Structure 1
Amino acid sequence: MLQEFLDWAYARHTNTLSWYIRPLFVLPLAYFAWRRSWKGIALTIVALLTSMFWFPPPERVDPHVQAFLDMEKELILSIGDLSPFHVLGVLAVIGSLTALCLAFWHRSLGWGLVIINLMALLKVVWSVGEGDDSGWAVLLPAVVGLVLCDTAIVWIARRFRLPISLRRP
Structure 2
Amino acid sequence: MKRKMDFIFGMLFAAATVVFIVLFLTNDTFFNWAFERHHNTLSWYIRPLFIIPIVIFAFKKSFTGIFASIFALFTSMFWFPAPAEKNPQVLEFLAFEMDYLKGPWTAPKIVMSLSVPLFFFMLLTAAWKRNWKLLLGVIIGAAVLKFIWSVAFSGEAGMSILKPASLGLIVCIGVLGYFLRKIKRS
Query: Please, what TM-score do these two structures have when normalized by structure 1?
Result: 0.89
Distance (Å, rounded) in 1 between the aligned partners of 2:75 and 2:57 = 18
Task: Give the one of 96, 120, 143 matched to 2:119.
Answer: 96
- Residue identity matched to 1:42: F
Is 1:112–2:135 an aligned residue pair? Answer: yes
Q: Relative contact order (C-alpha < 8 Å, sep 6+): which is higher?
A: 1
Task: Give the one of 16, 20, 39 matched to 1:14.
Answer: 39
Residue ranges of structure 2 left out of the alignment (5+ in a row): 1-26
- Residue identity matched to 1:31: I
* Counterpart residue number, 1:151: 174
Aligned-residue sequence identity (percent) comes to: 38
Q: Which secondary structure state, in structure 1, belongs to the residue aligned with residue 86 of structure 2?
A: coil
Q: Give the CA deviation at 1:153.
A: 1.1
Q: How many residue pairs get matched?
A: 159
Q: Give the CA deviation at 1:82.
A: 2.5
Q: List structure 1 runs of 4+ shifted beyond 3 angstroms.
A: none
Summarize deviations over 1:35-69 as a string: whole Å, max 9, x none. Answer: 11111111111111100000011111111111111
Normalized per residue, which structure has more helix?
A: 2
Alignment RMSD: 1.2
Show the 5 A alignment for 1:36-55.
Answer: 36-55=61-80
Query: Please, what TM-score do these two structures have when normalized by structure 2?
Result: 0.82
Residue ranges of structure 1 left out of the alignment (5+ in a row): 163-169
- Residue identity matched to 2:34: A
